[in-house]
Amino acid sequence: MVKSLTFFDPEHVDRRTPQQPWWALAFAVLGVAILLTIAWEIYWRGEGFIAGDYKNTTGLWAAERAKAKGAALVIAGASRAFGDINLDVWEAETGERPIQLAIEGESPLAVVADLASDEAFKGLLIVGVANDLFFYYRSTETRKFIDAYHRKSPAGWSEQAIANVLEKRIAFLDEDTRAGFVLATMGWPRRAGVKGSEGRPDFPRVPKLFTLGPDRGAMMWARAENDAAYASVFKAFWAYYTDGSRPPKADQLASEAVAQMVSDVNQIRSRGGDVVFVNFPISGPVMTTEEQSAPRGKTFDRLISETGSIGIHYADHSEWTRLNLPEYSHLAAADAKIFTSALIPVIDEALAAKGGRRLYRDRNSLPGGA
Amino acid sequence: MLRGAIFQIGANVAVRRDNSQLTDFTRTEKLIINRVAVLGERRLLFNSLTFVVFFGVVVALHAAPLPWRVKKINLLIASLIFYGAWSPPFVLLLLLSTVVDWFAARWIDGAKTETRRRLFLMISLAGNLGMLSYFKYGGFLLENFTALMNAAGVAYKPPDWSIVLPVGISFYTFQTLAYTLDVFLRRAAPTKSLLDFALFVTFFPQLVAGPIVRPSQLVPQFAEPKRATAPQFYWGLALMTIGLFEKVVLADSFLAPAADGAFGHKGALAPLDAWIGVLAFSGQIFFDFSGYSTTAIGAALCLGFALPNNFQYPYAAIGFSDFWRRWHISLSTWLRDYLYIPLGGNQKGRARTYVNLMITMLLGGLWHGASWTFVVWGGLHGLYLAVERFLKEAIPERAWFKALWFRIAMALLTYFLVNITWVFFRAQSFGDARMFIASMFALAPEAVKVLYWNDIVPAAIVVAGMVFAHWRMRSTTLEAVVERTPAPVVGLVWTFMLFMLVITQGSDSAFIYFQF
C-alpha cells in the first residue's frame, strides 16, 4: 500500500504542544462561555421555556417502565393520553399516582404487548386510543423506548440521572432549543416539489407541545395554549396528517390491531390485571377528518366489543365535548385537570360494575366522601 | 453467564441502519412527528454528560499524590468501567483478549523451536480472529452459507443468530494482535509488566474507536510516571473541544440531516439531493471519526500521554496512496505492516503487488463491517490504488504535474472518486447503491426531491469549508497553525466551539465507527 508515512511513526509518538498563553486563554474561554450560556438561558426563559421541564427521553420512559410491576396503574397511548391525563390530579383524587408510558406520535400497541408479556405486571392498564394512530399506524420509534428499558446499561442510567439534575435547573435544555432545530426553523425558503411537502407546515417536525415532570407527567405548554400563532402550527400539522389525499386505510391493519389487543388483554387478565380503553376529546377539523378516516364503528367500538373491555369514548359524555382544545387535538392544561377529575369516577364506576379493582385507594377520597 | 447476557441483550442495530427500517411514507411521518430524544445511550460516549463526570474524576485521581503504580491501577479500573458502562459482561471478553495475548507473547518469546513459536502465534491468532469472526462475522458467514446452499438447491434454514457486536472489538483485537505479531516477528520484546500491557489494551481514550496504537508507541509511556504539564493539559482540553465540536455540531447537527435524508430514501433521487447526500456523508463520516480520534488524543494528553494522529486532512489528498496516508492512518499502517508486507508487498513482482494491494484493501473493507457493500468499498479503493500505481509507472513525470492547477484538479478528482466509494459504504444494499449513483448522474427515472433548503445549505457550506480547510492545511499541522495564530483569535475560536457544544446540547448519538 504505502511505503512511507509522513504522519505516522509506529515506533513512537511525538505530540508537540503549541506555544500559547494557555492558562489565560482557558480562563478567558471558560469565563466568556459561561456568560454566553447565561445569556442563552435568559433568552429562552423569555421565550417561555422553564426549568424543571424534562426532555421526553427514552431513558426517562425506561425509568417509569421499571415501575410498572405488580398491581401498578399504568397509562399507555399517544399524545392525547400523555397530555390529557393530569397525574397530580389523579393522585390527589385517588391516592395513587399512575405510571405514564404514553409516547407522543406513536401507537401504543408495542407498549401494550410488552406489558402483556411481562409476568411481573398484574395491574390496571389505561390505553389511550387515537383511532388513526392506534388502528392504522405501526410505530417504529417505540422500539427504542422499550429497548432502553430491556437493555438498560449503567451508562444509560447515569446519563439520565445527570440529565435530570440539570434539567431541573436549566430551562434551555429542551429538544426545541437545540442549535440544530433552531437552525432548521429559521424561516428558510420552501423548496418546491419536495416529496411529501405539499401542505406540510414550515417546520421540520412537530414543535414543543407539552411540559414534562420528572415522572413524565405532562401538560400543555403555556405558549401552545396562549399563543394563537404558535397553536396554528399544530393545527397545520394535524391538517397535514389527516389529509384525505393519503391512500385509503387498510382494514387489515385495524383487524390486526384488534386481534393483538384481544390476545394482550386476555394475557393481562389471566394474571389478575385489566385493561381500559379511553378515546380522548378532539374537536374541529381533527374530529371531522378522524371520524371520516377511522370511523368509530370500525375501530373503537369494534375493539371494545372484541376485547370485552371497558371503553370510554369522549363523545358519550357531552360535557367533555365542551372542553378547550387550543389546537383541536389536546386539552389545555386547566381542562386536562377538569377532564382527569371527571374521567376517574367514570372508569371507577365501570370497574365496579365489572366487579374489578377500584381506583380509589382511600375510601374517604371517593366523590362525596362515600 | 456471558453467553446468556449476550443473548439477553439481543441484536444490536447499527447506527446507519436506523432509517432504513422506515418506508418512505413513514419516514416522512416519523421525522416530523416525533420530538423525543434517545437518551440513555447504552455506551459511555465522549459526547455524554456521564463522560464529563467520569473524566473529571479520572483527571483528579491522576493528579493526586499517589504512587505511579496506584495511578496506573486507577487508569486500568477507569478503563474497565468505561467499557463496562455499556455492558458489564463484555469486560470479561476484553480481559480474555488481554490475558491470551500476554501469555502468547511470552510463550512465543521463550519458545525454543520455530514450530513452538508458530504454535503460540496460532493460539493468539485463533483467539483474536476467532472472537472477531464469531461476534462480527458469524451472522454474515451464516447468511452467505445459507444463500449458497439455497442456490445449490439445498433447502437450508439457518438458526437464529442474534449476537451483539461488542463495542470496539475490531479496534482492540487489532491492537493486541499487533503486540503478538511484533514479538513473533522479533520487532519487539514482550512487555515485562502485565499491568502495563493491560493498560495498553484497555486505555479508555482509544479503546473503542482508535487510534489503533502500536505497543512501541504506548507501552513505554506507562513505564515512568506521567502527568500532563499545564500547557499539555489545556491543549488537551482544546483538542477535546475541537473533537466534540466536529462530532456533535458539524457531523450530527449540520451534516447528518442531509446525509440521512438522502440515503434514507428508497428510490431515485434528484441529482442535487443525491450529490448533497453523498457530500454530506463524506463530511459526516470524517467529522464523526476524526472527532472521536481528536477527542481521544486530547483526553490522553490531559493525562500526560501521547497518542498518534489518525487523520491528516484526507480530502486534500492528491491520489489514493496519499489519501491512505491521511485517512484512518493507524488502520492503513496496520494493514501495511501486518498484512501487505507479510504478503510480500511490492517485492514479489508486479502482478503480485497488485494482488497484494487488492487483498489488503478487500480485507480492509471487510474490517469495517460484515457486509458485501463494505467489501466493494475496499475493492474500489484497491482498484484506485492499483490504477494509480499503474499510471505512475506508465506515464513519465512531467513538469506540469507540479503546477497548482493540476494538483487542485487531481485533488478534486480524488475527492470525487472517494465520494463514489462512500455510496457503497453508506448504502444498505447494492440495489440502493446502484440507484444512488444513477441518481447522482441524472440517470434514474422518476427522481424525486427529498431534501429541504435547511438540509442543503448548511451541508453545502460545511462541506465546502471542510474541503477548503483540508487544502489549506494539507502540508502543515494543527499545532503549527495554532502556534502562529494570535492568542485572541485562538480564544475566540475555542469559545465559539465550546458555546456551540453547549447550545447543541450534545447529540445523544453514538459514533459511527463504534459499529466497526
Give the separation between CA B500 and CA B507, rounded to whole angstroms. Answer: 12
Q: Tell me, yes or no, if B265 is annotated catalytic.
A: no
Per the structure block, which three cell numbers stand in for B73?
A: 491501577
Of B304, B295, B225, B327, nearest to A15 by C-alpha is B304
Give the separation between CA A300 and CA A286, rounded to whole angstroms. Answer: 16
Residue A234 corresponds to which amino acid? F
The reply to whether residue A21 touches residue B453, judged by beta carbons under 8 angstroms, is no
**Does residue B223 or residue A3 have the better pLDDT?**
B223
Looking at the complex, report in whole angstroms how far the Cα of residue B173 sits from the nearest Cα belonging to chain A: 17
DSSP character string of B36-91: -B--S-SS--TTSHHHHHHHHHHHHHHHSS--HHHHHHHHHHHHHHHHHTT-TTHH
The reply to whether residue B217 touches residue A6, judged by beta carbons under 8 angstroms, is no
The reply to whether residue B44 touches residue A180, judged by beta carbons under 8 angstroms, is no
Confidence band for A236, pLDDT divided at 50, 70 and 90: confident
Residue A62 within any structural domain of the chain: no
Q: A127 in helix, strand or coil?
A: strand
CATH number at residue A258: 3.40.50.1110
Q: Would you call B173 an interface residue with chain A, using a CB distance cutoff of 8 Å?
A: no
Question: In angstroms, how far is the first alpha carbon of chain A from the final one?
Answer: 86
Of B50, B231, B450, the CB nearest to A162: B50
On chain B, the residues whose CB falls within 8 A of the CB of A152 are 40, 42
Of B26, B337, B487, the CB nearest to A25: B487
The whole-number pLDDT of residue A2 equals: 35
Q: Which residue of B has its CA nearest to A176?
A: B35
Residue A282 within any structural domain of the chain: yes
The reply to whether residue A177 touches residue B249, judged by beta carbons under 8 angstroms, is no
Q: Would you call B499 an interface residue with chain A, using a CB distance cutoff of 8 Å?
A: yes
Give the separation between CA B320 and CA B361, rounded to whole angstroms. Answer: 12
Looking at the complex, report in whole angstroms how far the Cα of residue A295 sits from the nearest Cα belonging to chain B: 22
Q: What count of other Cβ atoms lies within 10 Å of the Cβ of residue B369? A: 21
Per the structure block, which three cell numbers stand in for B410?
A: 487531481
On chain B, the residues whose CB falls within 8 A of the CB of A184 are 257, 454-455
Q: Would you call B231 an interface residue with chain A, using a CB distance cutoff of 8 Å?
A: yes
B313: left (phi over 0), alpha (psi -120 to 50) or beta: left
The whole-number pLDDT of residue B506 equals: 67
Average pLDDT over residues A214-219: 94
ipTM of the complex: 0.85
Q: Would you call B340 an interface residue with chain A, using a CB distance cutoff of 8 Å?
A: yes
* Residues written for chain A: 370
- Determine which helix (DSSP H) or strand (DSSP E) holds A125, and give its type and residue range: strand A124-128
Of B10, B456, B487, the CB nearest to A20: B487
Active-site pick, B62, B328, B368, B470: B368
> Residue A274 forms beta bridges with which residues?
A124
Q: What phi and psi values does residue A247 have, to the nearest 5 degrees?
A: -60, 150
Looking at the complex, report in whole angstroms how far the Cα of residue A368 sits from the nearest Cα belonging to chain B: 40
Residue B343 corresponds to which amino acid? L
What is the full per-residue pLDDT of chain B (516 aa) written as tens digits?
333 332 222 222 222 333 332 223 233 333 344 444 444 445 567 778 888 999 999 999 999 999 999 999 999 999 999 888 877 788 888 898 899 999 999 999 988 899 999 999 999 999 888 888 887 777 777 778 788 888 887 777 776 666 666 778 888 888 999 999 999 988 888 998 999 999 999 999 988 787 899 988 899 999 999 899 999 999 999 999 999 999 999 999 999 999 999 998 888 999 999 999 999 999 999 999 999 999 999 999 999 999 999 999 999 999 999 999 999 999 999 999 999 998 888 888 888 999 999 999 999 998 887 788 899 999 999 999 999 999 988 888 888 888 999 999 999 999 999 999 999 999 988 999 999 999 999 998 889 999 999 999 999 999 999 999 999 999 999 999 999 999 999 999 999 999 999 998 865 555 555 554
Q: What phi and psi values does residue B248 have, to the nearest 5 degrees?
A: -75, -45
On chain A, the residues whose CB falls within 8 A of the CB of B502 are 33, 36-37, 40
- Determine which helix (DSSP H) or strand (DSSP E) holds B149, and give its type and residue range: helix B138-151
The reply to whether residue B479 touches residue A172, judged by beta carbons under 8 angstroms, is no
The reply to whether residue A33 touches residue B38, judged by beta carbons under 8 angstroms, is no
- What domain range includes position A323? 70-138+198-359
On chain A, the residues whose CB falls within 8 A of the CB of B450 are 194-195
Q: Are residues A125 and A102 in contact, defined by beta-carbon separation less than 8 angstroms?
A: no
On chain A, the residues whose CB falls within 8 A of the CB of B361 are 1
On chain A, the residues whose CB falls within 8 A of the CB of B253 are 178-180, 183
| Cα separations in angstroms, B200 against A54, A280, B167, B176, B213 | 40, 59, 17, 9, 8
The reply to whether residue A188 touches residue B230, judged by beta carbons under 8 angstroms, is no
Do the strands A99-100 and A124-128 form a parallel or antiparallel pair, or are they unpaired? unpaired
**Does residue B414 or residue A293 have the better pLDDT?**
B414
The whole-number pLDDT of residue B228 equals: 93
Residue A169 within any structural domain of the chain: no
**Does residue B84 or residue A196 have the better pLDDT?**
B84
Query: Where do the structural domains in chain B lie, given as residue ranges?
Result: 43-227, 231-515
The reply to whether residue B32 touches residue A206, judged by beta carbons under 8 angstroms, is yes
Cell 435544555: give the residue.
Answer: A173
Give the separation between CA B31 and CA A203, rounded to whole angstroms. Answer: 11
On chain A, the residues whose CB falls within 8 A of the CB of B38 are 57-58, 144, 148
The reply to whether residue A29 touches residue B357, judged by beta carbons under 8 angstroms, is no
pLDDT tens readout for residues B417-476: 999 999 999 998 899 999 999 999 999 888 999 999 999 999 999 999 999 999 999 999
The reply to whether residue B503 touches residue A172, judged by beta carbons under 8 angstroms, is yes
Of B33, B38, B480, the CB nearest to A144: B38
Q: Are residues A55 and A214 in contact, defined by beta-carbon separation less than 8 angstroms?
A: no
Residue of A4, A6, A8 best to disrupt the B interface, most CBs of B under 10 A: A8
Q: The whole model's pTM is what?
A: 0.86
Looking at the complex, report in whole angstroms how far the Cα of residue B429 sits from the nearest Cα belonging to chain A: 21
Confidence band for A14, pLDDT divided at 50, 70 and 90: confident
The reply to whether residue B253 touches residue A178, judged by beta carbons under 8 angstroms, is yes
DSSP character string of B191-239: PS-HHHHHHHHH-GGGTTT-----HHHHGGGGTS-----HHHHHHHHHH
Starting from the edge strand earliest in sequence, which strands make up the sheet with A310-313, in order? A99-100, A73-76, A124-128, A274-279, A310-313
Residue A103 within any structural domain of the chain: yes
Give the separation between CA B339 and CA B355, rounded to whole angstroms. Answer: 12
A272: left (phi over 0), alpha (psi -120 to 50) or beta: left
Residue A7 within any structural domain of the chain: no
Give the separation between CA A150 and CA A129, rounded to whole angstroms. Answer: 25
Cell 470524517: give the residue.
Answer: B286
Q: How many domains does chain A have?
A: 1
Q: Which of A108-122, A158-172, B35-49, B401-415 has the lowest mean pLDDT?
A: B35-49
Of B218, B306, B502, the CB nearest to A37: B502
Residue A131 within any structural domain of the chain: yes
Residue A102 within any structural domain of the chain: yes
Residue A330 has pLDDT above 60, yes or no: yes
Cell 416519523: give the residue.
Answer: B30
Of B293, B289, B271, nearest to B281 by C-alpha is B289
Of A147, A178, A205, the CB nearest to B32: A205
Q: Which residues contact B226 (CB under 8 A, 6 or more apart)?
A: B303, B304, B305
The stretches of chain A forming alpha helices (DSSP H) are 22-46, 58-65, 79-84, 87-94, 109-116, 131-136, 142-150, 154-167, 179-184, 222-226, 228-241, 251-270, 284-293, 300-307, 333-354
Q: Which residues contact B296 (CB under 8 A, 6 or more apart)?
A: B46, B205, B206, B209, B210, B211, B243, B307
The reply to whether residue A160 touches residue B306, judged by beta carbons under 8 angstroms, is no
